[in-house]
Amino acid sequence: MHNPRITFAQLRRLLLDMGFTETVTPKSHVFFAHEPSGAEVALPIYRSNRLILPHHLNTVRIMLDAKGLMEGDDFDDFVASASAKQSAS
């Protein structure tokens, strides 16, 4: 992933579309869980239009790949596509 530009709303939509549930701890973090696979990730609270920091994207990428939910290359393609949409707007 080179200079990824993806918003929290885009990442959140991906995770929810994949069947993750979302739990918000106010003023702390957002927790996403995918019960069938056991995949879990906690992210700091972002405004929906804020860009996700690269190390948070990498955490999600590793978790999705490790749990067999999305290959790393497919996640990179998703981020690249989202980045292109973000750059166009």
**Tokens 């973090």 sit at which residue?**
29
CB 22 within 8 A of CB 31: yes
Note the pLDDT of residue 29.
96
Distance between CA atoms of 19 and 35, rounded to whole angstroms?
9
The domains found in the chain, sorted by start residue, are 8-82 (3.30.920)
Q: How confident is the model at residue 1 (pLDDT cuts 50, 70, 90)?
A: low
pTM for the whole thing?
0.91
Residue in the structure block whose two tokens are 């990730």? 41
Q: What tokens appear for 72 in the block?
A: 């790393």
Instruction: Give CA–CA dist 74/31, Å, rounded.
Output: 22
Q: In what order do the strands lie in the sheet with 29-34?
A: 21-25, 29-34, 39-44
Q: How far apart are CA 50 and CA 6, in angstroms?
A: 8
pLDDT digits (tens, 9 = 90+) for 40-86: 999 999 999 999 999 999 999 999 999 999 999 999 999 999 887 76
Q: Which of 52, 66, 64 is nearest to 15 (CA)?
A: 64
